[in-house]
Structure 1
Amino acid sequence: MKITAKQIAEKLNISTAAVSMALNNKPGVSVAMRHKIIDVATEMGYDFSRIQKKMEKSNEIAFVFFHKNFVFDTPFFTELATSVETTVKENGFQLVVHHIHDLDNLEEKVATLNSYHYAGIILLGTTMNQNEFSYFQKLEIPILLLDTYFPNIKTNCVVINNVDGAQSATEYLIKKHHKQPGYLHASQNIQNFAERSLGFYNGVRTNSYPVSKSIVHLLSCSVEGAYADMLEILKNKEPVASCYFADNDEIAIGAMRAFKEMGYRIPEDVAIIGFDNIPYSTFVDPPLTTIDVPKAFMGKIAARFLIEVIKNPSEHHAKIEINTSLVIRNSI
């Protein structure tokens, strides 16, 4: 038996007109109510194919955070998300935020996203792998992948120029200290850190140092985790370099704390450069030299790119890299 708008209205105790407006993507109901109606309609087995062809174009863009052993609560992601929201609203769209976890049923989650009939989706896929992204490729609406990309997959994306940023940091350390730098490498396996690793080793090779002699410490990605890992390394009296490039600021800050606790002076005994330029990097002692990622600019570019694709669809795809810059403070 076909499910009708009247049956959905009765289940929600609302008017049939409200259900009709929500299902046909017409104004007159709030974003929250429209999503509630669509969710219930999906649960009841409503046949959306009957209305999809005559639906009005949505003015909503979804911003989807994909989580995997990671919480997007750092200042980096806050600034990025704020910029996306501001730009979306400036261009006459509404932004709706979704959080999806790797342990969720991704097929169901993506089907639900599809049922909302968004104008487009920005997917923050920092921790995502290619297999997980394959579910999102099935979406029938424009999608922009933010903060990661996958070779040989045709999709629009906006990413950080990690390789050049890490290489410039590494070469600056070498120029400043005339010694082979060590590497505070993130233990989490994501695309950003893989590219920063490539940039670090490019810098080492360019300056004729043997890659095999680089001192590398594998550290957790948080301040507390990196501190605990680095403290254990130092207590075990493992070899230590005189200067380091760190995959992100939190690793750098945690490692600095451990070094200082064990009697090392920063930067006299050990110099450190981070990556990201989070606000906290200016308040540590000494303030952290780092690679700045223009987060607000990155969010703005991502939102504008998706909106352009929504308005002018194309069979071609593009990858935009956001360049970084070195911010010199007192940790080197």
Structure 2
Amino acid sequence: MSDNLLEIKDLSRIFDISKPWLNRLIEREDRRLLRAVNDVSLNIKRGETFALVGESGSGKSTIAKVIVGLLAASSGEIRFDGVNLAEQSPTAMRNIRRRYQMIFQDPFASLNPRWRVRDIIAEPLRKFGMGDMEGSSQKRVDELLELVGLSAKDGSKFPHEFSGGQRQRIAIARVLSSKPEFIVCDEPTSALDVSVQAQILNLMRDLQDDFGLTYLFISHDLSVVRHMANRIGVLYLGRLVEVSDSKEMFRNPRHPYTQMLLEAVPDLDMTGRTRVKAAGEIPNPITPPSGCTFHPRCPLADAHCKANIPPVVESDLGAVACFKAT
């Protein structure tokens, strides 16, 4: 058995955002392609929390949706527990699909407002043939509600009768109902108040310890990532620019973009260290810069960076894609 539960190799996702064919013909325009994810490769070990961070538009949520099958990959390979997902039959995928689930960013939008909570949580049980509503499923729903800090009586209510934090607990209970091994968490606390965020994050850590779960945790909040992640991958304009152990990355970031992200974190300890203001904005992904796409914002960039794409170089410290990495 491999230590890696999920393996991604050279994953890309391209969106065709062109105008209709006739409009392009009349206006003499070429097709417009948006490369949201560009040749990303990473491994996630069993039982760990791997975090993906980066600015809005870096491709984090697109990767999450491709992994769980909400979007198709344009190219590349995804292996779950050694199995290539693209080569599986619908019947085999049904069995594999039960083993990984996703927690979405907005807990209200991800819950059917017309269904009672017990039906929402029991839906994966029915989908995967794991119980019936009159017997084992009802008992399982009650157990899950209490597991996430709610009451079994809450099963008769509708989503609008709960607060944002409680709705996210319901979403977590629904995810757990199929007994998954791997959970993709797409900014699961960004829509919640800070005090509620801490409660949900602690709940997720407790569940991970209790059930041996593996998380892909997507966030733009580095303070949350520091609390949750064992390893961190940094995305910039669809490319993975650095992967490192969490403690090592916060102690010694190697890529200039990672350094810029960490400089943006408030210095709550008031250490008095010199701050470097984040420069520029993420470029248009439709017309990305040549060479290293970070070079327009990088204080270390030179002519070589502008003309060439840096390869991902692995070492004992992790992996980094930068000609100037320390």
Taking structure 1 as the reference length, the TM-score comes to 0.32
Taking structure 2 as the reference length, the TM-score comes to 0.32
The structure in which a higher percent of residues are helix is 1
Which of the pair has the greater relative contact order for Cα pairs under 8 Å at 6+ separation? 2
The structure in which a higher percent of residues are strand is 2
